[in-house]
């Protein structure tokens, strides 16, 4: 009796699917930034727990919630086109990729504009030198704002590459990385909003 050997799988099919090294590099970079924000939040809550009297310290007013709530909505919404950009790049949908990257950029820019407006009002009532609370408040929110600004630069760079037709379903690492970074920025802001705004005002 003749035995028919089963066909061997192709070499590519035998290898497990894995992420590119550049994706892991972005993930490790984000991990270091998470550690930075954890240190800042630890300092904030340490001072808050060991602060005598009311919080915020001194005569500082509780932070207003309307604009930060709108900013939160903008960043939460911006994560949707960021995800769609990655999905579109993987499926070769050039038009949707451009629209998604553009929408993410515009929502992020609106967030940063509202933060600048918020600063212009809050600085009239509260200086970073007034108390430990004020110093930590401005440090944490400005560090996060700097990360948003960096994300906008990355989005513009990626949008330029998309306009040049650089990305294909097989080669779109930059879109994956900028999407991953943007979700990180969104997640950190939720922690900022909950810690520095909601927990103080409610």
State residue 57's pLDDT score: 82
State residue 18's pLDDT score: 66
Is the domain 21-47+63-201 a CATH 1.20.120.80 member?
A: yes
Rg, C-alpha atoms of the chain: 22
CA dist 113 and 62 (Å) reads 22
Q: What is the pTM of this model?
A: 0.88
Q: Residues 80, 85, 88, CA angle at the centre, nearest 5°? A: 120
* Residue keyed to tokens 């504009």: 113
State residue 10's pLDDT score: 47
CA dist 181 and 157 (Å) reads 14
Q: Indicate the domain borders of the chain.
A: 21-47+63-201
Decide: 56 and 133 in contact? Cβ < 8 Å: yes
* pLDDT tens over the chain, length 202 residues: 455 455 554 444 444 446 889 999 999 999 999 999 999 999 999 999 998 778 888 778 888 899 999 999 999 999 999 999 999 999 999 999 999 999 999 999 999 999 999 999 989 888 999 889 999 999 999 999 999 999 999 999 999 999 999 999 999 999 999 999 999 999 999 999 999 999 988 7
């Amino acid at each position: 009796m003749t035995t028919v050997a089963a066909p061997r799988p192709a070499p590519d099919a035998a290898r497990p699917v894995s992420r590119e090294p550049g994706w892991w590099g972005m993930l490790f970079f984000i991990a270091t930034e998470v550690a930075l924000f954890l240190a800042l939040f630890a300092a904030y809550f340490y001072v808050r727990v060991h602060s005598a009297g009311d919080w915020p310290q001194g005569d500082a007013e509780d932070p207003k919630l309307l604009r930060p709530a709108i900013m939160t909505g903008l960043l939460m919404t911006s994560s949707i086109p960021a995800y769609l950009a990655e999905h579109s790049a993987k499926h070769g949908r050039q038009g949707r990729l451009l629209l998604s990257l553009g929408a993410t950029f515009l929502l992020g820019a609106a967030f940063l504009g509202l933060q600048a407006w918020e600063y212009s009002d809050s600085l009239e009532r509260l200086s970073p030198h007034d108390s430990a609370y004020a110093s930590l408040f401005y440090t944490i929110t400005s560090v996060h704002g700097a990360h948003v600004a960096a994300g906008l630069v990355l989005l513009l760079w990626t949008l330029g590459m998309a306009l040049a037709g650089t990305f294909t379903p097989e080669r779109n690492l930059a879109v994956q990385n900028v999407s991953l970074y943007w979700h990180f920025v969104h997640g950190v802001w939720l922690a900022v909003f909950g810690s520095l705004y909601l927990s103080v005002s409610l």
